[in-house]
Amino acid sequence: MKMNEQGKPLRKMTTLPRLLMAGLVAGSMMACAPVVDQRGYVFQDDIAERIKIGQTDIDGTRQLLGTPTTTSTLNGGAAYYIHSRFVTESYRAPKEVDRKVLAIYFNENRLVRDVAIYGLEDGIIIPIVARTTETQGQELSVIGQIFSNLGRFGDGGSSADGL
């Protein structure tokens, strides 16, 4: 029997603890893998070539591409087909890494006037401003609110002796 440095017999690791250890290592490595999320319209490579400027109308566009993600009614109208790709890494919030917008503009006769493809770099980042409206009067802490209510627990009715 083999002995360790303290003179105690060596224990051999059985198969079950080895499998558990391997599973733990593999699971922790998989937890760090990024998760890719595809959202919106699924584009095909030749999609913009199918649409003929001046020939394809709104109904033909919908038959060819399906229902748009969003539409506009200004200047003859437009249809937008939007695709985004988000990546989530471990505990972080999802981050948009790619966006493609197929914009189809129509003229007054409901025929395609122009086709454009925009990417994430073409977008404008709009900063969100968080504003709060301050309340009138004095702001009280939690303890101040508790002590300010002492003695105010009546129903507001008449006194107990019925006068």
Q: Looking at residue 89, what is its pLDDT?
A: 82
Structure letter (DSSP) for residue 74: G
Confidence at residue 112, expressed as pLDDT on a 0 to 100 scale: 92
Residue 105: per-residue pLDDT = 93
- Which of these, 81, 101, 88, lies nearest to 37 by C-alpha position? 88
Beta strand extents in the chain (DSSP E only): 35-40, 70-72, 78-88, 95-106, 112-119
- In order of start, what are the domains of the chain with their CATH numbers? 34-124 (3.30.1450)
Q: What is the pLDDT along the chain (163 residues), one digit of tens a residue?
A: 566 667 666 666 667 777 888 877 776 666 677 888 888 888 777 877 888 888 888 888 888 888 888 888 887 789 999 898 999 887 788 888 888 888 999 998 889 999 888 888 887 666 666 677 776 767 777 787 777 777 666 665 555 555 4
The predicted structure's pLDDT at residue 94: 86
Q: Cβ of 68: how many Cβ atoms within 10 Å?
A: 19
